[in-house]
Amino acid sequence: MSCWIRRGRVERDERQLPVDRDTVETTDMNYYEQNRQTFLEGLQTFLRIPSISTLSEHKPDIRRAAEFVRNELSAAGLVHAELIEGEGNPLVYAEWTGAPGKPTLLLYGHYDVQPPDPLDEWKSPPFEPTVRGNDIFARGSSDDKGQTYILVKAVEGLLKTKGRLPVNVKFLIEGEEETGGEHIEAYVSSRPARLKSDAAVICDTEMFAPELPTICVGLRGIVYAELHVEGANHDLHSGIYGGAAPNPMQAMAEILTALKDRNGHIQIPGFYDRVVPPSAKEREAWARLPFDEAEYTHKEMGAKELVGEPEIPLLERLWARPTLEVHGIRGGFTGEGAKTVIPARAMAKISTRLVADQRPDESAAQLKEAIRRATPKGVTAELKLIHSAAPSLVNPDNPFVRAAADAMTEVFGKQTVYIRSGGSIPIVGCFDQCLGIPSVMLGFGLPDDNLHAPNEKFHLPNFYRGIEAVAHYLETLGR
């Protein structure tokens, strides 16, 4: 394995672009080459819309982003391009079903983004997309506007050059993925006939390393919750009452540390019972992936050392083991100087990532019970669920997955690797359970894209090559 494709390396061989035409039997690749500048400008317009789904003051921007996607789809030549209005943020739908007898693909992406804070750590403003070198920097560039736009432009190119598509497509683009994606699930489960497809195609994951075409065949699920701990009904003088009064901050610490030991083992009775270990074949494939643990630790994460279950290999910890994490704790006195007080309440945001075959409802109930048992006397602890999603596994032998891997191998000129990811895309479990279809996850993000963090970026060669890879994939499926 040559070292320049190793994950964590920044130097990349850009001479690989444009791709070697001899290996890709796709006609009209010219359209994709000639329109790169237009694609980039369209992406920049998309990225300028601050469609942050977690902040309600951005509702008008959410709508603008949805309308942008709908307009793009209808200009590309799709029919029935519309916003589907419901309780949540609008869904965008469009289809082209003029290829009877050919497969139907459900093309999924999300137009909502995470908040950009902390703002002062951005080198250029998050909603003023800026090209530096081969990367475009903006919130949502990689997750997921850039990757959603890949699907739109791939289909547009085929329609513009041939007047038809090699397969049938149904676009379903949501605006709530980053907040748990609950409304899309209600829609998908209520409209199986309209959404009937053979496979979903999703570009919302990462390549394992630069230049290495990657398909993701597993995602973790999630249970996200708030833990509220209450002691006395008002703050108390810590000298006058200390020694007698319950302390909710201390209780919070006791509860949280009771849930996971120092070796990363979750201490929730029954929690691991349904966890399915990866097969020997998968383990061996993961061990062969080009991976530099020191670079991952110190450069990509910027951490001092790795933690977690010591007896389990790193990639298995990330992809096939559940987690329990604390995201934030609020309560008590944190201002300047000293204030001697016993706070009345404390709150923590926590989540657990789930792996196949764990069930969100059951895991949440187990978590609740473990919290009840760990709660010290004198306080109450209440767990409020915010959202949850099931884990998902895709069979790598599925013909739609294999065809995608072959198309990526051709366009990138390298053997496609199969990985899983520790992240979650809530609707993937529902595509499997509600529609009975596999999700083909072709990822074009890179490990150092800074998803959800300051200076999120998308590698432009991946943007252009992603468009060509998806177009090539659709063509091969139509043969």
Residues with Cβ < 8 Å from 425, sequence gap 6 or more? 177, 181, 202, 204, 205, 219, 389, 392, 439, 441
Single residue of 69, 150, 222, 259 touching ligand BES by CB under 6 A = 222
Residues 166-205, one symbol each (x = binds ligand BES by CB under 6 A, - = not), give -----------xx-x-----------------------xx
Residues in 86-105 at the binding interface with ligand BES, rule: CB under 6 A: none
Which residue, 144 or 230, has its beta carbon nearer to Mn ion? 144
CB 78 within 8 A of CB 172: no
424 binding partner (options Mn ion, ligand BES, none; Cβ < 5 to 8 Å by kind): ligand BES
C-alpha distance from residue 253 to each of 221, 260, 261, 326 (Å) = 25, 12, 13, 11
DSSP single-letter state for residue 35 = T
Instruction: Transcribe 139-153 into DSSP letters.
Output: TTIIIIIHHHHHHHH
206 binding partner (options ligand BES, Mn ion, none; Cβ < 5 to 8 Å by kind): ligand BES
Q: DSSP E strands: which ranges in 390-451?
A: 392-393, 417-419, 439-443
Residues with Cβ < 8 Å from 142, sequence gap 6 or more? 444, 445, 446, 449, 450, 451, 456, 457, 458
Single residue of 425, 427, 437, 477 touching ligand BES by CB under 6 A = 425
The token pair at 213 is 């075409």
Judged by CB under 6 A, does residue 426 bind ligand BES? Answer: yes
Judged by CB under 6 A, does residue 389 bind ligand BES? Answer: yes
The token pair at 438 is 């596999």
Q: How far is the CB of 222 from ligand BES (least distance, A)?
A: 5
Closest CA to 71 of 84, 81, 86: 81
Judged by CB under 6 A, does residue 206 bind ligand BES? Answer: yes
Q: How far is the CB of 354 from ligand BES (least distance, A)?
A: 11
Residues in 369-388 at the binding interface with ligand BES, rule: CB under 6 A: 387
Q: How far is the CB of 35 from ligand BES (least distance, A)?
A: 26
Q: If 0-12 CB within 10 Å is exposed, 13-18 middle and 19+ buried, where does residue 18 land?
A: middle
Q: How far is the CB of 424 from Mn ion (least distance, A)?
A: 9
Q: How far is the CB of 49 from ligand BES (least distance, A)?
A: 17
Binding site for Mn ion (CB under 5 A): 143-144, 204
Separation between Cα atoms, residue 409 and residue 406, nearest integer Å: 5
Tokens 């196949």 identify what position?
356
Single residue of 197, 424, 450, 455 touching ligand BES by CB under 6 A = 424
Q: How far is the CB of 182 from ligand BES (least distance, A)?
A: 10
Which residue, 103 or 210, has its beta carbon nearer to ligand BES? 210
Q: How far is the CB of 52 from ligand BES (least distance, A)?
A: 13
The token pair at 436 is 């009975």
Which residue, 375 or 421, has its beta carbon nearer to ligand BES? 421
Judged by CB under 6 A, does residue 456 bind ligand BES? Answer: no
- Encoded amino acid at 318, one letter: L
The token pair at 345 is 């309440």
Q: How far is the CB of 467 from Mn ion (least distance, A)?
A: 18
205 binding partner (options ligand BES, Mn ion, none; Cβ < 5 to 8 Å by kind): ligand BES
Binding site for ligand BES (CB under 6 A): 143-144, 177-178, 180, 204-206, 222, 387, 389, 421, 423-426, 451
